[in-house]
Amino acid sequence: MSSYILKITGKRPQIFIDMLIRLHINFALVEQTYQFVVIEVLEEDYEKIQKLKTSYEITIIKRKGFAYLLYILHTKKIFLGAIFIGFLLLTLLSNMTFSIQIIETDQEIKDIIMADLKEFGIEKYRFKVSYDQKEAIRTKILEKEKDILEWLEIEEKGTSYQVKLIKRVQQEPIEIAQPRHLVAKKSGMIVEIQADHGEILVQKNQYVEAGDILVSGIIKNKEEIVSQVAAEGKVYAEVWYTVNMQLPFVYEEEQPTGRSKQVLEFNFLHHTIALNDFFPYQHANNQESILWKHSLLPFYISFTNKKEVTIQRMNYSEDQAHEAIVDLATEKLRTKLGDDIEIISEKVLKKETTTDRINIELFFKVKEDITSYRSISEEELLPQEETNE
């Protein structure tokens, strides 16, 4: 039930009271003075009073019952909406996984378990699983990784999971190296030979082709096979490469600042609303994890890891671009061949300059490990006479 306490202000308010009596409008007199009267009416009587044409000022002093509740909802809707969204966010975030800690020093094992957790439904920035689901995941991982795991426990701690495990102790098989040759995995000119076992067949400054035997696993004495060993060592050669690179004179590069944050986002069509990103980065690299996606509508909720970057704009002169290209080409070679290579020399074979970029073909001499291995074939063990036949 709803009721209102009204204050009627005007000249001789008793006249207004008499009018209510004549119109059969029910009320309870709360207070009366010469300047005003205070009455309490039910909602249906208040609606009748609102329809009256009168010069008296009618002011609502207080609302009671359902009318008061509606009034609060209407006047405090922004505040109540904020409370509701806050409660929704709190509930949402408290049911998410923000970190997974695996108590183990072996990085390979940690990577395997982390991949298994992701496969079976436990992943950072995803909703937590129930206890029964967690135990089912634990059983599945133990079954899948039975060769490497003896015991596994997944413990939920707030918004994180802690994984404890005991590795299965395995007896490592002792591998006995079979007789073999050390061969060249690519063509080049020999610059250094380090042979621990086997008979060296090449010498420094000798050019070899890919597949040539460098250190033989067949030990001979006057063309007679004395023994077979597993050739072991390292052979380094000068190998030649050509690299084609181009670089614009105006170049933009992203530099990470080290700052990052996690942002909860609502996504609809091509529009994104960030709920907790009050000071957005000007430039950032985003890694999005979808928390929930509607099966029919183009709407989903995501948790995005934003890593701030700054954009550095560089204007190269021709000489600076040339120097930068040499550095980039060297880095490209090291990425392809490994950091243990040694650049002996480089030379420009071809150079073209346009209005906005420079194109260079570079020739590199590189010292690198060309060691590879090949098993000894049965034909190589035959006597020389049989081979000639």
Q: Tell me the CATH number at 6.
A: 3.30.70.250
Q: Are 206 and 189 in contact (CB under 8 A)?
A: yes
159 has pLDDT over 90: no
Inter-CA distances, 240 with 80, 186, 324, 344, Å: 73, 10, 21, 10
State mean pLDDT over 50-72: 83
Per-residue pLDDT tens over the stretch 25-39? 888 888 888 888 898
pLDDT at 388 (0 to 100): 47
Return the higher-pLDDT residue of 349 and 379: 349
pLDDT at 343 (0 to 100): 92
pTM of the model: 0.46
Q: Are residues 330 and 374 in the same domain?
A: yes
86 found inside a domain: no
CATH code: domain of residue 152: 3.10.20
pLDDT at 361 (0 to 100): 93
How many domains are there within the chain?
4
Angle CA 99–267–130, to nearest 5: 40
118 has pLDDT over 70: yes
Per-residue pLDDT tens over the stretch 347-371? 999 989 888 888 999 999 999 999 9
Angle CA 28–32–38, to nearest 5: 50
- Looking at 289, 312, 335, the residue that finishes a domain is 312
Q: Are residues 325 and 238 in the same domain?
A: yes
pLDDT at 368 (0 to 100): 94
Q: How far apart, in whole angstroms, are the C-alpha atoms of residue 139 and residue 145?
A: 10
Output the average pLDDT for the chain: 86
Q: How far apart, in whole angstroms, are the C-alpha atoms of residue 122 and residue 349?
A: 54
Q: How far apart, in whole angstroms, are the C-alpha atoms of residue 93 and residue 3?
A: 42
Q: Are residues 244 and 322 in the same domain?
A: yes
Domain coverage including residue 7? 2-74
Return the higher-pLDDT residue of 65 and 202: 202
pLDDT at 384 (0 to 100): 58
pLDDT at 150 (0 to 100): 87
Q: Are residues 240 and 345 in the same domain?
A: yes
Q: How far apart, in whole angstroms, are the C-alpha atoms of residue 54 and residue 15?
A: 11
Angle CA 154–155–159, to nearest 5: 120
**For the chain, percent of residues with pLDDT exceeding 70:** 96
pLDDT at 385 (0 to 100): 54
pLDDT at 272 (0 to 100): 87
Q: Are residues 239 and 356 in the same domain?
A: yes
Q: Are residues 259 and 386 in the same domain?
A: no
Range scoring the smallest mean pLDDT among 105-114, 188-197, 209-218, 266-275: 266-275
Q: Are residues 66 and 188 in the same domain?
A: no
